[in-house]
Amino acid sequence: MSLLRASSSILRKVVGISKVQSCAPTLNVLSKRFYDPDPTPPVYDQSLIEGEDLICLLDSSEILSPEKKARLALKYGLIPEDYHPMNDHDFNLGDYPHLPAESVLERDPHYDWDDPFYRRNYGEPISVDVDLYSPLILDTRPLPHDPQQQYRVLFGALFSCFFLWWLGGKYRTNLPRGPKQYPEHYPSDEILHSWEWDSFEKRGLEPKLKERTPVTNYTLEKYKWNPAAH
């Protein structure tokens, strides 16, 4: 094979045909293109956010004064009316703003966004659930019909189905039906053992037959009964 390959490459060099790419780029090319051991851009190395510029803990018992609220809103690039911290009595989440739960698809598609795919401008505070409300995951656009009405109809239909199912289990149709009978076949045995797994290893593809013992309630003096003959 290697000889063939070498000869073909030599032939190609002699004739002057370059190798035609007949398929998609293989993993080698992809890995060279996409694998970057240090993906951090150089500018980001020098930029430091320290101290008060980071998310800080808030005292849960303290009520925010207008001045402090304005200061914190300015920290996150919001107006004070829009700023509501995510701080909680039970679970101290700091002063990060609580943003509305709207998906990216709900925003204006015709506005000149800095990032048109995620429809956001640079410097905006990002929702905690940014991955949840990305265009590929969750869509919170209003539905074409009233969702409350749809929930009502859906759950109404579901629970009526549950009720009818329960009713159908209680009152069965006793319609006439039975398996076809053969001389050596006893349907009552099938019904009794119908839930049993009878493996193919045991019985191949043959129908299940019952072994019968000969029952003789008579004897003939002239012709004696010989069980071995049957």
Partner 1 sequence: MMVGIVKLILIYLPFLMSSILFNKSLVNMKSMKINSFMFLMFSLLLFLNSNNGVSMIGMGWMNMKFVLSWDFYSIVFIFIGMSVTWSILNFAQWYMGAEVKNGTFNSFLFLFLMFMFILTSSVNLVFLLIGWEGVGIMSFLLINWWFGRGEAGLSGIQAMVYNRIGDFFIYIGIFFFLSSLSEVVMLSFFFNMEYMVNNLILIFLLIGMMAKSSLFFFQPWLPNAMEGPTPVSALLHSSTMVVAGVYLMCRLVGMFNLTVLGVVGLIGALTMLYGSVCALMQPDMKKIIAHSTTSQLGLMVVTLGFGYPFISFLHMGMHAYIKSLIFISSGVFIHGTMNLQDFRKMKMGSISSKFSMYCMFFCSLSLGGFPFLAGFYSKDSILENMYGSFLNSFLSLVVILGSVMTVVYSFKLMYLVLFFNNNDGSFSVKLEGQESFNSTFFFMSRLFLGGISGGFFFMWSIFLVMGEEYISWYLKVIPLMILFFGLLVGLILVPSKMLVAPVFNLLYYNPVVHRITLFMFYRSIKIMKYIEFFGMEILWVSHLKKIPLLSSLFNGFVTYKNYFFFCIVGLLLLMFLF
Binding interface with partner 1 (CB under 8 A): 22-24, 26, 47-50, 54-57, 91-94, 128-129, 132, 135-139, 143, 145, 147, 150-151, 153-154, 158, 161-162, 164-165, 167-169, 171-180, 190, 194-197, 199-201, 204-205, 207
Q: Report how far apart, in Å, the C-alpha atoms of 156 and of each of 150, 159, 187 are.
A: 10, 5, 42
Phi/psi of residue 120, nearest 5 degrees = -150, 155
Tell me the closest approach of the beta carbon of residue 87 to partner 1, in angstroms. 11
Distance of CA 23 to the CA centre of its chain: 32
Which residue has tokens 């007949």? 22
Q: Whole-angstrom Cα distance, residue 22 to residue 18?
A: 12
Cβ proximity to partner 1: between 11 and 153 the closer is 153
Tell me the closest approach of the beta carbon of residue 76 to partner 1, in angstroms. 14
Q: Whole-angstrom Cα distance, residue 203 to residue 206?
A: 6
Cβ proximity to partner 1: between 145 and 230 the closer is 145
Tell me the closest approach of the beta carbon of residue 195 to partner 1, in angstroms. 7
Cβ proximity to partner 1: between 165 and 225 the closer is 165
